[in-house]
Structure 1
Amino acid sequence: MRYAIYFTPPAGDPLSKVAANWLGRNVFSGAAVKPPAIRSFEPEEVALLTAEPRRYGFHATLKAPFSLDEKFTERDLLSSLMHFASSVAPVTIDRLHVAALGDFFALVPEEPLAELDQLANDVVVALDRFRASATETERARRKPESLSISQLRNLEQWGYPYVFEDFRFHMTLTGRVEEKDKLRVARMLDAFFEPVLSEPVEINNLALFVEAEPGAPFEVHSLHPLSVSPLTGAGRPKKSA
């Protein structure tokens, strides 16, 4: 069993519904969703584009998948997650848009948002005690030879390269896309998601996702509302040195 702490919109949110249609799976129920009919894209091509993100479900990573340290139980993790979520304020993203991040596509904020980066930092620090140390196999999967110095340091200390200064909020839509196909895929994704990208997105929950066994699809275990008013919110935990 592995756990991850992500953001995903509620099941009834229009963005969740469109994303489930695109990825071909409902991350709340685990049910398959009929692939979309897209002009100039065969269903098999869409299935290939979405194969990797389909397994993880529609989400933004706040704390990457981890095994639970043997000192703790799932109930311990849930209790701490609920307490943490109740102590921090929601963050609003004015607008998401489709962007290429290296060789894959994702939804990202149009403008940097310091409050969102801080929330991600806080999640990493506040809940890291529940994470079992990564195995050599898990570490190798991150391809340490390709990482920067700061990313290697993050991998060693926090179990994931892309935290703190290396974090970028994103909601993955595709696996690897060949350079020759990027413009075509970008235009298609812009058109597909445009109807649900005109409204702000409120980061108003922390979602606990679970992977029941190695290689199994991740599913939502529970959503935990962020419930402190931004005007009266308590202080946040800080990144350790």
Structure 2
Amino acid sequence: MAKFPRYAIYYAPPEASLLDRFGNSLLGYDARRGVDTAFADGITEAIADWRELTEDARKYGFHATLKAPFGLADGQSEADLVTACRDFASVPRAIPLIRPVVDAISGFIAVIPGERSDALQGLAADCVRAFDPFRAPTTPEDRARRRPEALTPRQVEYLDVWGYPYVMEEFRFHMTLTCRLEAARREPILAMLQARFAEMKLAQLAIDQIVLFRQSDPRARFRIIGSWPLTGCASPA
């Protein structure tokens, strides 16, 4: 059984930024304040089951995973993890810059990079390695929940080593907006969300902070408990 509380290292956009408001209004949840928010104008009228389509994403808050949720290993504390987040952010590194787009990824609709970013792939890999000492060992139940029989051999290897299959070259940055949708249902919703996203005219997004989320128990939503700006050093790729 998973250990609680659970923690995760995510990217989340700056508070009250255009992207932050966009994501929160689609999910109906503000992970910084831990409160429901009003849905974007007209979306529940246009899509009657929008609340259901965003239910799972709402549990996690608007984010992109860098280090997937984990319970703390024996001997580790939340204070230790907070210190590690601060130390990680203080190390100079290339700050990834991406061209954000709304598109489908594995049947979900999400904000994703328009092109691959080596700096972003490197940041995610660094997070996986740096914070793994804080992760409690994967339980048989957690491993089974990842359905290893449906994963590739490399993904199974990563699941067993890092507790999560989608790391290193398997990592794909995404800020989830909906559950998985069949293509016929997904296409009109995707077009609508792309149009809404285009209104922001957000040509570039800096992945310039790490954010610590906490889930207190299995029924609770994740909440932000700290964020740290990354220290830049060189031009990103």
TM-score (norm 2): 0.93
Are residues 1:206 and 2:210 paired?
yes
Are residues 1:107 and 2:111 paired?
yes
Which shows bigger deviation, 136-145 or 155-164? 136-145
> Which sections of structure 1, spanning at least 5 residues, go unmatched?
234-241
Partner of 1:171 in structure 2? 175
TM-score (norm 1): 0.91
> Which sections of structure 2, spanning at least 5 residues, go unmatched?
none
State how 1:178-193 maps to structure 2 within 5 Å.
178-193=182-197
Counterparts of 2:39 and 2:86, CA distance in 1: 35
What's the CA shift for 1:37?
Answer: 3.2
What's the CA shift for 1:38?
Answer: 2.9
Aligned 8 A contact 1:85 1:226 in 2: yes
- Partner deviation per Cα, 1:210-235 (whole Å, 9 max, x = no partner): 0011131001110011113226x9xx
Partner of 2:13 in structure 1? 9
Partner of 2:153 in structure 1? 149
What's the CA shift for 1:39?
Answer: 6.3
Aligned to 2:82, the other structure's residue is in SS state: helix
Q: Give the residue type in structure 1 aligned to 2:187.
A: L
What's the CA shift for 1:110?
Answer: 0.6
Q: Give the residue type in structure 1 aligned to 2:222.
A: F
Question: Cα gap change, 1:202/1:90 in structure 2, threshold over 3 Å: closer, same or farther?
Answer: farther
- Partner deviation per Cα, 1:23-81 (whole Å, 9 max, x = no partner): 00011101111122336854642111111101101101000000000111111111111
Counterparts of 2:171 and 2:165, CA distance in 1: 8
What's the CA shift for 1:169?
Answer: 0.8
Counterparts of 1:87 and 1:166, CA distance in 2: 24
Are residues 1:127 and 2:131 paired?
yes
Q: Give the residue type in structure 1 aligned to 2:9.
A: I
Aligned 8 A contact 2:95 2:230 in 1: no
What's the CA shift for 1:89?
Answer: 2.8
Aligned to 2:84, the other structure's residue is in SS state: helix
Q: Give the residue type in structure 2 aligned to 1:128.
A: D
Aligned 8 A contact 2:94 2:119 in 1: no
The percent of aligned pairs where both chains have the same amino acid is 38
Which shows bigger deviation, 210-219 or 196-205? 196-205
Q: How many residues were matched structurally?
A: 232
